[in-house]
Structure 1
Amino acid sequence: MAPATVSFELREHTLDNGLRVVMQPDSSAPLVAVHLMYHVGSRNERAGRTGFAHLFEHLLFQGSENVPREAHFKLVQDAGGTLNGTTWFDRTNYFETLPANELDLGLWLESDRMGFFKAGITQEKLDNQRDVVKNERRQSYENRPYGLALETVLAHAYDEGHPYRHPTIGHMPDLDAAKLEDVHEFFDLHYGPNNATLVLVGDFEPAEALDRVEAWFGEIPARPVAPRPVVPPPPGGGERRAVLGDRVQMPRVYLMFHSPRFADPDFETVDALTCLLSDGNSSRLKQTLVYEKQVAAEVSASTWPTEDVGMCFVVATARPGVSAAELETAVRDVLEEMRDGGVGAGELEGTLNRARHALVGGLAGFGERADAIAHAAVLRGDPNYVNDAFTRYGTIARPDVERVARTVLDPDRLTVLHVVPEAAEA
C-alpha cells in the first residue's frame, strides 16, 4: 500500500535586493530551521582554483566584522541548536535548527555573514583553513580506501575544462595557489543576496517572520553575479575506461552513465530504475550478484540530482577471489538484461512504494525539509517540487522505466573504473 501524499504550504517572497525567501510554517514542534543556499559550487570555479567553493565554506565559519572567530558555533549551540554547511557541484548551503524563539539568532548570523564577512577574513584565517581543507583531502580522499575513485571517474567521464570534471574538494596545487584577493573576489561575485535563497521551516507566524527577514537582510545591497558557466553536453565517442591502483583488499568497480539532470522530466524515472536495480535484497543487482552468483560483497545504484548534467552510478565491491573484470561482467549482464528484458509489474509497484516512502521520510524533519525545499528552489527553480515529487513517482509506468533503461544504460554513455589492489595493478 502506497503512503499518503504530502502537501506543504509554501509562501514565497523576494526582497528588493533579490533575496528569495520561501517559508513553510509548521507548528508541530517548537523549532525553526534556517537554511540559506547560495547558487555557487565547484562547477563555478575557474581553472587553477579548484576546491575554492569548499574552502570558502570553511572560511565563512571563521567570523566576520561583528561575530568573532568560531563564535557562530558557540552562539547556536549555546541556544540549543545545531548547524553546519556543505558544498557540492551546484550550490553551497549554511543551516541551523534552533528553538523557535531563537529565529532572530539564526537570521542575524546568516545576514551578518552575507553582509559583513569580507573585512573579517585575514591572511592568517585563509592559511589556517587552507591547511584544514588540505588535511581533509588527505584523510578523506588520498589516504582512505577507494577515496580517489570519484575524482578519477569524473576526470575520465568529462573532457578537459568541463565544469563537472573536478571534485568539490579540489586539487592540492590549486588550494596552495589561493590568495586573499581571490577570497574577496569570490565573495563579491557569489555571496550577494541576489544569488541566494533563504528557506524557513517551523513554528513561526509567516508575516512576523518575513518582517524579521526584512529587518536583517533588507539593507544588504545586491551585487553583480558572475555569469553561469557554460556546461557542454556529455561527451560522445563511446565507452571510457580507467584502472586505479589503491591500498585496498578487494577490487571495486564503478560504472557511471550520463543521465538526465535533476530538472529533466525523466529524473524520477531514472531514480526509480536505480531503486529497482539495488534497493532491497530482492533487487536485480543484489539478488543476482550478492546472493545467487556471490561475486559481490555489496552493490548500489543511484542517480545524482545535479543541475546541468546527470550522473547515474552503479558501484560493486568484489568478494574474495573475484577479479574486477569478472565483477564488471556480472554487473553488465544484469544491466543488459534490464535493458532488453523489461520490468515486471509487481517489481515496479514495490519499487515505487519504497521510493515514495523514502521521499516522505526525507521530509519529516524540519532541517531535512528545508534542505529539500532549498534544493528544489535553486537547482530546479521550483520549491513546490517537494509537493509535486510524490505525484511524479506515482505516475511512473513500466514503459517509462523500460525506455530510460534502454537510453541511460547505454555502453556508449558509460565510464568504467576498476579500483584494484596496488599489486594487482602492477
Structure 2
Amino acid sequence: MIRLTASAAALALAMPAFAQNAPAAPAATARAASLPKAAPVADLVKAIDIPYEQFTLPNGLRVVVHTDRKAPVVAVSVWYDVGSKHEPKGKTGFAHLFEHLMFNGSENAPGDFFEPLKQVGATDLNGTTYFDRTNYFETVPTAALEQALYLESDRMGWLTGAISQAVLDEQRGVVQNEKREGDNQPYGLVSYKLIEGTFPADHPYGHSTIGSMADLDRASLDDVKSWFRDHYGPNNAVLVLAGDIDVATARRLATKYFGPIKAGPKSVAPNAPVPVLAQPKSEVMKDRVAAPLIVKSWPVPGLNDPAAPALEVAAYVLGGLASSRFDNALVKGDKTAVQVSANYSDFAQVGTFTVQAVVRPGVDPAVVQKRLDELVDDFVRNGPTADEVQRTLTTIVSRRIGGLESVGGFGGKAVALAEGALYSNDPGFYKKQLAALAAQTPATVKAAAQQWLARPGYTLTVVPGERDAYDEAQVPPAAPQTAAPEVAAKGTREPMPKVGEVGALSFPTVQRAKLRNGIELVYAQRTAVPVTQIVASFDAGTAADDANRLGTQAMTLAMIDEGTPRLNSIQLAEAKERLGLDIFTGSSPDRTTISFRAPSANLAPAVDIWSDLLRAPTFPESELPRVRGQVLAQIAQELTDPAGIAQRIVPPIAYGAGSPYAKNVGTGDAAAVQALTRNDLIAFQRAWLRPEKAKIFVVSDRPMAEVQQVLNARLGDWQGAGPAGTKVFREDRSLPAPRIILVDRPDSPQSRITGALRTNLRGTQDLLPVITANDALGGDFLGRINMDLRETKHWSYGAYGAFQRNAFAAPYLVNAPVQADKTGPAIASLRQEIGAFVGDKPLTQAEFDRSITGAIRSLAGNFETAGDVLSAMQANDLYQRPDNYYTTLPQAYRAMTRDELAGAIRSVIDPERFVWVVVGDAKVVRPQLDSIGLPVEVMSAASVAGAPQERK
C-alpha cells in the first residue's frame, strides 16, 4: 500500500464571516446561547494517555511497549527509517517497491506473508510507505505473538535470499498497477503536479512515493538487494508492541527473535530545507473531470518545528472545520464553489500547506482563485478569532481520543508511539503536540501564517477537457519474466513457533430497552475511551428512494443539517465544534442513518443538537439552491469516475430493474434532483425518517440508564406525522442475459471490470457457509481471484469477489481493476477461476483449514473498537440474528466441513450467468473482448446518466 500526497478529493467544509448573511431561524441567536455548555478542552486532553516503556537491543533496535488488556490481542508495528526521501535520482519508487517485496516471504518463511498471518487470525494487517518511513503492522491474538515476531524478524534479517527475479517481476507489475489505479481516477494526476510545483526536482521530497514507471522498470535484482542491505537493519527500525503484553515479555521475545540480526548502515536524514519559491507559480492542466479544481500549495516546516501546531490550527480555521472560512465564503456565501478544504501535511522534515476548491460548473475558476487568495491574505493580516481557535482545539482533541481506542492499525496507539519515536526521537511526542496545540492563541496562529503563508505559493487549476498526454499512461515493455519462482536460500533459524491457545472473543453484552415513545434502544458498554457513539437507523435506505425521482434521499440527507428551529447551518456547525461533536449521515440499500460521535463528557448537549436534526430539520428554502448544486456536482463527478460509472449500471443487473435495490445507483439522477422542492424533502423525511421506523444503537462508556435518560429527555415524546413510507420486495425469478457491457472511457490506463451475478439468496438467511467458502475464491487477499490477477499475472493491484448482503437479496459481485491491455484476458481468467472453484477444482483442504482457523482466531481482533461493536449490532439486527451471534461463531465454524462449503457455493454461483461490465478505453479494450464468447454492448460514458433498464 502507499499513502500519496494531497489528492483532489476536496471536502465540503464550513466561516464565521458569512454568519450574518446566513438565514437565521426564529430567535436563533438567543436559543443558541441557551445550549448546554461543553466540557473544557483541558479535561478532554487529560483523557489522552498512552503509558509506555522502552528499551534498545545491542543491535540498535528500539522497542516501545504499551500494555492494554482490554482484549487478548497485541499490535505489532515495525517502522523503518526509510522512505521515498532517501531515494536517489533514477531509483524513485524503490522504498515502496520494497514494501511489497517484504510481504512476499523470507528465507525461513518462504511464500506470501499473508498466508501465515491469515492462519493466526491477524487483523489490521498491512504495510505502507511514505516520504519518511516504511512500516508493517498487524494485530494478532496474544497466543500468536511469537509467530508474528518470527515473521517480522525474518524479513528484517533473512530476506535477500528470498528475493528472486520472479518475485521482483511480480511485485514490480503489482506496483505499476497500483499506480495506474490511482492515475485512473478523476484528478488522479494532481498529486504529482503539486509535488513538482512545490519542491525542486532534486529535493528529497521532490518526487512521489510511488515513483516513476521508468525507474521501476530499470530496477535490477542487484539494485533492490543493495537497497535492502543499506536501509533495513535493526538500528534503522522501531518495534512497537501494544496490547496484551508487558515489558518483561516484550524484552524476552524481542531479544530472542531480533537480537541475532546484525546492525547495518545507519540511515541519515537527507538535507531537506523548506524551499522558497522565487515567485508565485501557476499552471493549468486538463483532465476528464466534471468540475474545475483549484489547488494552491506552500512549502512549510514539518512536524518538529515550533510553527507546526499553529499551522494545523490555521488549516482547520480556513478549511478544516464545518464552519471554516472557505466554506462560509465560497460555498455558502457567494456559492462559487461546491467543495473546499485546507490541509497541513506535517512530514518529518518539511510540510505542505494546501488549500483547494472545486469550482461550481459555469463559474470562471479565476474568480474563485482570486477569492481564495483574498481569504488567505485576510487571514494572514488578521489571524483567527479566539472562538475559532477554541473550536479547532476541541475538534482535534475529540477526534484523537476516538482514534486511540485501537492498539494498532492505521491510526491506533502503536502508530502514535512509533511516529514519535521515529520522527521526533520521543514515543511520547504526541503529548508535546497536544500541549503545543492547547497553547495556541490567535496571536501565535497569526504569526505562523504571516511567516509562511505570505510567501509565494504554487497554484494548479484543473479544467475539464481531454486529459493531457503523459508518459506514465503508456504500458511499458514487459519486464523479463521467470517461469517459476526460484527456490529461496534456506536460512539457519529454528522453525517458526506454533500458535498457542487463542483467547476467546469478549463481545460486550447487548442490552435492549425502549424509549417512552416506543423507539427501541440497543446498547453495549465499552470503556476503553470516554466516547459515546449513537446511530439512529431508519428502515429506509436507497430502496426507499422515489423511483421517479432518484436522489430524493440524498438531497434530504444533504439538507438535514442546514438548519433546526434553534440554529441555522453556521450556528449548528459552530455548536458541534464547541462540543467536539461529529454528526454523520449515511445510507445503505436497506437503512438510512443519522449518527454522532462525541466525548461522553458532552453527551447531553450532543444529544440536544442531534435530536433536533432528527425531529425538526427546517430544510431552509434559502439553502436549497446551494445544496442542490453540490449534489449535482457530486453526480457529475460520479459520472467521470470508473467506480461511479459502474455503480450506475450494475444494480439493475444484480437485483432486477423492478427491485427497490435497483435504485442504488449512486447519488441520484441529475434531472430529478434539479426538480426537487423543499416540500419533496419534507415529505421524504416525514414518511421515512420517523420514530416508528427508527432504532437507536449506542456504544458508550456511560451506563445504559444514563444514556436512556438523556435520550428520553429529547426523543421520548417524538411522534410521527402523516402516513409512513412502504417498500415492496417482490420475488423476481428472471435472469439477465450473460454479456459484456463496455462503457467507453477514453484514455483510461486501467479498465474497471465488474462481474454481476444475480442469486436467489436473501441477507436474512444463514449465509455463513457461502461467505466462508468465498474466502478462498474472492473474499480475501489470498483468494484465488486476487492471487491470480495480482500475484501470478500482476495485471491488477487487487481483485475481489463478494456477496453484497442486503436484507432481501445478496448478489455476487466481482471487482477487478486491470491494466487496459489485459482487459480481455483478465475476464477470461476470472471466468476460468470461478468456473474451476465451483467445478473441477473445488475448495481444497488447505484453503478450508486456512479460512476456518483464520476466522476463529481473528474474532477477538475484529471487535476491538466501539465502532466495530456498533457495526456488528446493526448487522445482527438487520439480518435478524441474535445479539450474541458473534460469540456463537467459533462453534459454527468448527462444525463446518469442506464438502459442505464447496457444495453451498456451488449451488449459488453459475460462472456462465455473469454479466460483465467494463469501464475502459474502447479503442484499446474492444478488440480484446471478441474471443471471450459473449455478446458485447458498447456505450459511451456520457450516456450513463442513470440506471439502465435491464434487458433479458
TM-score under structure 2 length normalisation: 0.44
Separation in structure 1 between the aligned mates of residue 429 and residue 101 of structure 2, nearest angstrom? 32
Greater relative contact order structure (CA < 8 Å, 6+ sep): 1
Letter in 1 for 2:435: T
The CA deviation string for residues 79-118 of structure 1, in whole angstroms up to 9 with x for no partner, is 2212100000010000011112221122111001001111
After superposition, the Cα gap between the structure-2 partners of 1:33 and 1:425, relative to the gap in structure 1 and judged at 3 Å, is: closer
Instruction: Give the alignment of 1:230-269 within 5 angstroms.
Output: 230-269=271-310
Give structure 2 stretches of 5+ with no counterpart.
1-38, 470-952
Instruction: Give the alignment of 1:14-413 within 5 angstroms.
Output: 14-70=56-112, 72-82=113-123, 83-141=125-183, 143-367=184-408, 368-412=412-456
Separation in structure 1 between the aligned mates of residue 162 and residue 60 of structure 2, nearest angstrom? 24
Determine if the alignment matches structure 1 residue 417 to structure 2 residue 417.
no
> CA offset at residue 261 of structure 1?
0.7
**Fraction of identical pairs, as percent:** 39
After superposition, the Cα gap between the structure-2 partners of 1:33 and 1:354, relative to the gap in structure 1 and judged at 3 Å, is: same
Letter in 2 for 1:173: A
> CA offset at residue 14 of structure 1?
0.6
Please say which of residues 39-48 and 233-242 is displaced more in the overlay: 233-242
Contact residue 292 and residue 464 of structure 2 kept, 8 A: yes
The CA deviation string for residues 23-76 of structure 1, in whole angstroms up to 9 with x for no partner, is 111112222110000000001111111111111101111111111221x21222
> CA offset at residue 350 of structure 1?
0.9
Separation in structure 1 between the aligned mates of residue 214 and residue 431 of structure 2, nearest angstrom? 44
Contact residue 33 and residue 95 of structure 1 kept, 8 A: yes
Separation in structure 1 between the aligned mates of residue 78 and residue 433 of structure 2, nearest angstrom? 22
Secondary structure at the residue paired with 2:171? helix
Separation in structure 2 between the aligned mates of residue 270 and residue 133 of structure 1, nearest angstrom? 34
Letter in 1 for 2:230: L
> CA offset at residue 138 of structure 1?
1.1
Separation in structure 2 between the aligned mates of residue 135 and residue 424 of structure 1, nearest angstrom? 19
Separation in structure 1 between the aligned mates of residue 267 and residue 317 of structure 2, nearest angstrom? 40
> CA offset at residue 424 of structure 1?
10
Separation in structure 2 between the aligned mates of residue 396 and residue 227 of structure 1, nearest angstrom? 32
Letter in 2 for 1:372: A
After superposition, the Cα gap between the structure-2 partners of 1:388 and 1:226, relative to the gap in structure 1 and judged at 3 Å, is: closer
Secondary structure at the residue paired with 2:255? helix
Separation in structure 2 between the aligned mates of residue 424 and residue 144 of structure 1, nearest angstrom? 12
Letter in 1 for 2:51: E
Contact residue 33 and residue 200 of structure 1 kept, 8 A: yes
Contact residue 255 and residue 417 of structure 1 kept, 8 A: yes
Secondary structure at the residue paired with 1:419? strand
Secondary structure at the residue paired with 2:348? coil
Separation in structure 2 between the aligned mates of residue 209 and residue 365 of structure 1, nearest angstrom? 19
Separation in structure 2 between the aligned mates of residue 222 and residue 122 of structure 1, nearest angstrom? 24
Contact residue 51 and residue 66 of structure 2 kept, 8 A: yes
Please say which of residues 400-409 and 123-132 is displaced more in the overlay: 400-409
Contact residue 37 and residue 93 of structure 1 kept, 8 A: yes
Separation in structure 2 between the aligned mates of residue 224 and residue 202 of structure 1, nearest angstrom? 31
When the two chains are superposed, the root-mean-square deviation of aligned CA atoms in Å is: 1.6
Contact residue 257 and residue 409 of structure 1 kept, 8 A: yes
Contact residue 8 and residue 387 of structure 1 kept, 8 A: no
Letter in 2 for 1:383: P
Contact residue 303 and residue 310 of structure 1 kept, 8 A: yes
TM-score under structure 1 length normalisation: 0.96
Secondary structure at the residue paired with 1:292? coil
After superposition, the Cα gap between the structure-2 partners of 1:339 and 1:164, relative to the gap in structure 1 and judged at 3 Å, is: same
After superposition, the Cα gap between the structure-2 partners of 1:211 and 1:57, relative to the gap in structure 1 and judged at 3 Å, is: same
Separation in structure 2 between the aligned mates of residue 289 and residue 403 of structure 1, nearest angstrom? 25
The CA deviation string for residues 324-364 of structure 1, in whole angstroms up to 9 with x for no partner, is 22221121121112112332222211111111112222222
Secondary structure at the residue paired with 1:361? helix
Separation in structure 2 between the aligned mates of residue 26 and residue 230 of structure 1, nearest angstrom? 39
> CA offset at residue 394 of structure 1?
1.1
Letter in 2 for 1:415: Y
Please say which of residues 321-330 and 83-92 is displaced more in the overlay: 321-330
Work out the number of aligned pairs and report it. 423
Contact residue 359 and residue 390 of structure 1 kept, 8 A: no
Letter in 1 for 2:458: T
Larger radius of gyration: 2
> CA offset at residue 423 of structure 1?
5.5
Secondary structure at the residue paired with 1:298? strand
After superposition, the Cα gap between the structure-2 partners of 1:425 and 1:285, relative to the gap in structure 1 and judged at 3 Å, is: farther
Contact residue 300 and residue 314 of structure 1 kept, 8 A: yes
Letter in 2 for 1:274: A
Letter in 2 for 1:61: F
Letter in 2 for 1:273: A
Letter in 2 for 1:384: G
Contact residue 257 and residue 410 of structure 1 kept, 8 A: no
Look up the match of 2:55: 13
Separation in structure 2 between the aligned mates of residue 347 and residue 230 of structure 1, nearest angstrom? 36
Please say which of residues 81-90 and 285-294 is displaced more in the overlay: 285-294
Separation in structure 2 between the aligned mates of residue 278 and residue 153 of structure 1, nearest angstrom? 18
Separation in structure 2 between the aligned mates of residue 133 and residue 201 of structure 1, nearest angstrom? 30
> CA offset at residue 385 of structure 1?
0.9
After superposition, the Cα gap between the structure-2 partners of 1:203 and 1:424, relative to the gap in structure 1 and judged at 3 Å, is: closer
Secondary structure at the residue paired with 2:332? helix
Separation in structure 1 between the aligned mates of residue 430 and residue 198 of structure 2, nearest angstrom? 31
Separation in structure 2 between the aligned mates of residue 424 and residue 93 of structure 1, nearest angstrom? 34
> CA offset at residue 229 of structure 1?
2.2
Secondary structure at the residue paired with 2:266? coil
Letter in 2 for 1:11: E
